[in-house]
Homo-oligomer: A and B are copies of this chain.
Amino acid sequence: MAPPQWIIILFVFLFLISYSSAAPSSGIVGNISATEAENLPGMTHITLAGALLHGFKEVEVWVETAAPGVHTPIHRHDCEEVIVVLKGSGTLYLGSHVDDDDDGGGGTRPQEIPFHENSTVRIPPNHAHQAWNTNPHQDLHVIVIISRPPLRLWVYSDWSAPHESAKEMFPTVWDNKFLLKANANPKDDVLHHHRRHEL
Which residues of A are interface residues toward B (Cβ below 8 A)? Answer: 21, 24-25, 27-33, 48-49, 54, 56-59, 61, 63, 79-80, 82, 84, 92, 94, 111, 113-116, 118-124, 143, 145-148
Contact = CB atoms under 8 A, between A and B. Distances in A.
B56 A119 contact: no
Contact of A48 (B80, B120, B148): B120
Contact of A92 (B28, B61, B118, B145): B28
| Copies of this protein, total | 2
B61 A82 contact: yes
5 contacts: A24-B111, A29-B113, A29-B122, A32-B119, A84-B143
B58 A121 contact: no
A124 B80 contact: no
